[in-house]
């Protein structure tokens, strides 16, 4: 016999739903697409008007008393109606406040001002959307006035002659040589001034190299974050392909001593010397999350005081070719690698003639003062496949436009 008692009084528990109604308008500062015609319907504000009391006492004249006894023409048969129907050719003078209402606001040079009790006038705020935060209104007014001044300055004629360009360049050198460092202050820290200046120059030592910036979602390697790992700045990223998917294989040395010795030999190595091989072991695969092909505002910057004596003091820069964000690739046993290496042996190999020629061409951009003139003399192929040599525009199929002659026959 069971002693369990059931307290269920009803077989089915009744549940009443209470759904919330849809909001009558989008929330504040959130752009939700809606039909603007719903705001033009009179029923849109019925709820607001019904809930808003009107603390007004309206008399029979609706708050606007009108004394009709001031116009005699309404009560006399032969009265003068000039006050009610003035002559269009001889209109009475208007009050200054009424005259302002008849003007076109778009033709005013300055915005309309609101007179205050202190005698000063404050301009009206610019047109802003509904429910805009008030702390941005004054800032927008300042930005609009500054932009108007800038537009006026841009409208001024600019001398683009060759002599004017030379004068502008010379003025830049004069300003840099006579610059007072004590007048340069930090934009955010008060009281901090400049103590030394550097010439910004291209880094000819590394200009021929192409640099990419890789960012990892997690620290690579198997060591924890709080442990120093000197192997990370000499790792190897090898492009891989599996079933049409492209990713990168990541390699590191086994020991820290191998990485330190590899870096020392790389900086101390001279042409023609033999060096030993260094083994890099496979760690894991990484896949690209984001690739930026153009990086216009990030550079490699080296501040050199000139202590080595090989070059003068300056800030030497090199542009970054691409930026990539990497994340760990999920391991799949079914992946078929076209060419996977578990160990990579790295050693120094002398450059071939083609590689040296390509390097010298890239280095000439910052070393050869006549680099641009040599490119103009050799001719550059544009997007349409045409070469401009000596004022003659020549197509890739052999046709030439210009004075031509012998050059046209050669191509």
Residue 112, pLDDT above cutoff 90: no
**What is the DSSP pairing of strand 245-252 with strand 236-242?**
antiparallel
Residue 200 CA to residue 301 CA, distance in Å, equals 9
- Phi/psi at 169 (5° precision): -65, -45
Lowest-pLDDT range of 58-62, 85-89, 242-246, 352-356: 58-62
SS3 letters across the chain: CCCCCCCCCCCCCCCCCCCCCCCCCCCCCCCCCCCHHHHHCHHHHHHHHHHCCCCCCCCCCCCCCCCHHHCHHHCCCCCCCCCCCCCCCCCCCCCHHHHHHCCCHHHCCCCCEEECCCCCEEECCCCCCCCCCHHHHHHHHHHHHHHHHHHHHHCCCCCCCHHHHHHHHHHHHHHHHCCCHHHCECCCCCCCECCCCCCEEECCCCCCCCCEEEEECCCCCCCCCCCCCCCHHHCEEEEEEECCEEEEEEEECCCHHHHHHHHHHHHHCCCCCCCCCEEEEEEEEEEEEEEECCCCCCEEEEEECCCCCCCCCEEEEEECCEEEEEEECCCCCCCCCCCCCCEEEECCCCCCHHHHHHHHHHHHHHHCCCHHHHHHHHCCECCCCCEEECCEEECCCCCEECCCCHHHHHC
Is the pLDDT assigned to residue 164 strictly greater than 60? yes
In this predicted structure, what is the pLDDT of residue 150? 58
Estimate to the nearest angstrom the gap between the alpha carbon of 149 and the chain centroid: 24
Ranking 57-71, 94-108, 118-132, 337-351 by mean pLDDT, the lowest is 118-132
CA dist 317 and 85 (Å) reads 81
Dist. CA 313–CA 308, nearest whole Å: 10
Distance CA 182, CA 171 (A): 21
Lowest mean pLDDT among 81-85, 259-263, 280-284, 288-292: 81-85
Residue 401 confidence (pLDDT): 43
pLDDT of 279 above 90: yes
Average pLDDT over residues 190-200: 85
Q: Which stretch of 150-159, 202-211, 337-346 has the lowest confidence by average pLDDT? A: 150-159
Question: What pLDDT score was predicted for residue 158?
Answer: 80
Closest to 280 measured CA to CA, from 302, 303, 261, 305: 261
- Supply the pLDDT for residue 77: 79
Output the average pLDDT for the chain: 76
Distance CA 83, CA 86 (A): 6
Residues 6+ apart with CB under 8 A from 74: 68
Over residues 260-278, mean pLDDT: 75
Q: Give the span between the Cα atoms of 351 and 269, in whole angstroms.
A: 14
In the predicted structure, residue 403 carries a pLDDT above the cut 50: no
CB atoms within 10 A of CB 259: 21
For the whole prediction, is pTM greater than 0.85? no
Burial class (CB in 10 A: 0-12, 13-18, 19+), 394: buried
Instruction: Provide the pLDDT for residue 395.
Output: 43
Task: Output the furthest CA–CA distance in the chain (Å, rounded).
Answer: 125
Q: Is the pLDDT of residue 146 over 60?
A: no
């Amino acid at each position: 016999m069971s002693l369990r008692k059931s307290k269920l009084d009803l077989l089915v528990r009744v549940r009443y739903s209470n759904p919330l109604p849809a909001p009558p308008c989008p929330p504040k500062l959130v752009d939700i697409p809606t039909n603007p015609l719903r705001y033009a319907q009179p029923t849109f504000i019925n709820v607001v008007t019904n809930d808003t009391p009107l603390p007004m006492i309206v008399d029979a004249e609706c708050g606007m008393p009108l004394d009709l006894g001031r116009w005699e023409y309404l009560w006399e048969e032969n009265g003068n109606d000039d006050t009610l129907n003035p002559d269009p050719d001889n209109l009475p003078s208007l009050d200054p406040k009424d005259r302002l209402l008849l003007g076109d606001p778009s033709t005013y040079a300055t915005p309309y001002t609101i007179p205050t009790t202190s005698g000063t006038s404050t301009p009206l705020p610019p047109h802003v959307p509904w429910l805009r935060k008030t702390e941005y209104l004054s800032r927008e007014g300042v930005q609009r006035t500054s932009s108007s001044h800038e537009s006026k300055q841009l409208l001024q004629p600019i001398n683009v002659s060759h002599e004017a360009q030379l004068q502008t360049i010379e003025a830049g050198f004069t300003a840099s040589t006579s610059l007072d460092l004590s007048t340069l202050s930090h934009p955010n820290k008060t009281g901090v001034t400049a103590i030394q200046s550097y010439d910004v120059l291209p880094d000819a030592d590394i200009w021929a190299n192409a640099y990419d910036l890789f960012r990892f979602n997690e620290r690579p390697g198997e060591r924890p974050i709080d442990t120093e790992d000197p192997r990370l700045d000499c790792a190897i990223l090898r492009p891989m392909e599996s079933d049409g998917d492209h990713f990168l294989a990541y390699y590191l040395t086994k020991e820290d001593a191998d990485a330190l010795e590899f870096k020392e030999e790389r900086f101390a190595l001279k042409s023609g010397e033999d060096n030993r091989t260094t083994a890099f072991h496979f760690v894991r695969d990484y896949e690209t999350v984001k690739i930026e092909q153009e990086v216009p505002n990030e550079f490699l910057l080296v501040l050199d005081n000139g202590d080595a004596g090989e070059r003068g003091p300056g800030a030497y820069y090199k542009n970054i070719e691409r930026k990539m964000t990497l994340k760990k690739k999920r391991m799949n046993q079914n992946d078929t690698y076209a060419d996977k290496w578990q160990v990579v042996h790295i050693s120094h190999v002398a450059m071939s003639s083609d590689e040296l020629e390509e390097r010298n061409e890239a280095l000439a951009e910052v070393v050869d003062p006549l680099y641009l003139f040599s490119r103009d003399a050799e001719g550059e192929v544009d997007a349409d496949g045409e070469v401009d040599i000596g004022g003659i525009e020549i197509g890739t199929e052999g046709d030439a436009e210009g004075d031509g002659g012998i050059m046209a026959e050669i191509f």
